[in-house]
Amino acid sequence: MARSAIINVMVQAAFKAGRSLARDFGEVQNLQVSLKGPGDYVSQADRRAEEIVHAELSKARPGYAFLMEERGVIEGDDDQHRWLVDPLDGTTNFLHGIPLFAVSIALERQGQLAAAVVFNPAMDELYTAERGGGAFMNDRRLRVASRSKLADTVIGTGIPHLGRGHHGNALIELRNVMGEVSGVRRMGAAALDLAYVAAGRLDGFWEHGLSPWDMGAGALLIREAGGFVTDYDGGADFLDTGSIVAGNEAIHRALLKQLKKPLTKA
């Protein structure tokens, strides 16, 4: 599959950072048995990957701004373009030797998501999308799942935990959704969760408390795979609100309905 110049730039950055993470992942698995543990090593791996992505993208597109998980905002001379970068989405998975983590890179152009790359080096899965050009996994065209009834679906979510804030309605939402679906999955890496929706592996997804770098690439993947992505009010402000709901048209609509229901008695 022929890729555009901008996607090639993003893929190169993701691959280079991914190779670094893959090497570190092997070391982290060895550190699981040490007294010190892998925590410090993982934070170094995260920073190394971010440095690689920043260097690669800056070299290829000097002047573009950045919003990065570790470094935060980096202003650029070009006010029309901004990179959203999570160099290691799924840090806790990485820390525990679980191969569900990814490099996530999105490009905003004039405030609109324009291009996306999500790369899981542990599974060698590369997800790419460009606005108006479709979504792909390892060059295979992606489409969201076609299931239309919640009872047939598997839905992904995130769960509040230590150090990640608390969303007071999480248990209510979980109870209302899990009573209507075939299964609920908590994978631990939002960028991959959203990529899985684009690939039809998950039928839908919802989560609160996310950052733009968690959602940007995955959201464009879903849209380019024929799906719907909104905030909890059905609007387009999920990058600002940090709350996201995704799926095909029918499942997205049904999820929004379930998430707004009050807690019902068993």
Domain count along the chain? 2
Task: Please indicate if the annotation marks 40 as binding a ligand.
Answer: no
Out of 141, 167, 200, pick the residue that ends a domain: 141
Out of 141, 174, 200, pick the residue that ends a domain: 141
CATH code, domain carrying 61: 3.30.540.10
Question: Does pLDDT of 99 surpass 50?
Answer: yes
Mean pLDDT across the stretch 125-150?
A: 97
Q: Does residue 264 form part of some domain?
A: no
Question: Does pLDDT of 164 surpass 70?
Answer: no
Q: Does residue 117 form part of some domain?
A: yes
Same domain, 120 and 236: no
pLDDT computed for residue 27 by the predictor: 82
Report which of 73, 112, 145 is spatially closest to residue 220, judged by C-alpha positions.
112
Q: How confident is the model at residue 266 (pLDDT cuts 50, 70, 90)?
A: very low
Task: Please indicate if the annotation marks 89 as binding a ligand.
Answer: yes
| Predicted confidence (pLDDT) per residue in 40-86, tens digit | 667 788 999 999 999 999 999 999 999 998 889 999 999 899 999 99
Q: Does residue 265 form part of some domain?
A: no
Neighbour tally for 263: CB within 10 Å: 11
Task: Please indicate if the annotation marks 152 as binding a ligand.
Answer: no
Which amino acid does the sequence have at 35?
A: L
Q: Residue 123's domain spans which residues?
A: 5-141
Same domain, 178 and 83: no
Same domain, 60 and 107: yes
Q: Which helix (H) or strand (E) holds 116?
A: strand 112-120
Out of 97, 124, 141, pick the residue that ends a domain: 141
Specify whether the CB–CB gap between 84 and 71 falls below 8 A: no
Task: Please indicate if the annotation marks 125 as binding a ligand.
Answer: no
And the tokens for 115? 């291009």
- 85: helix, coil or strand? strand
Full DSSP string of 58-103:
HHHSTTEEEEETTTEEE--SEEEEEEEEEEEE-HHHHHTT-S--EE
| Predicted confidence (pLDDT) per residue in 233-252, tens digit | 999 999 999 999 999 999 99
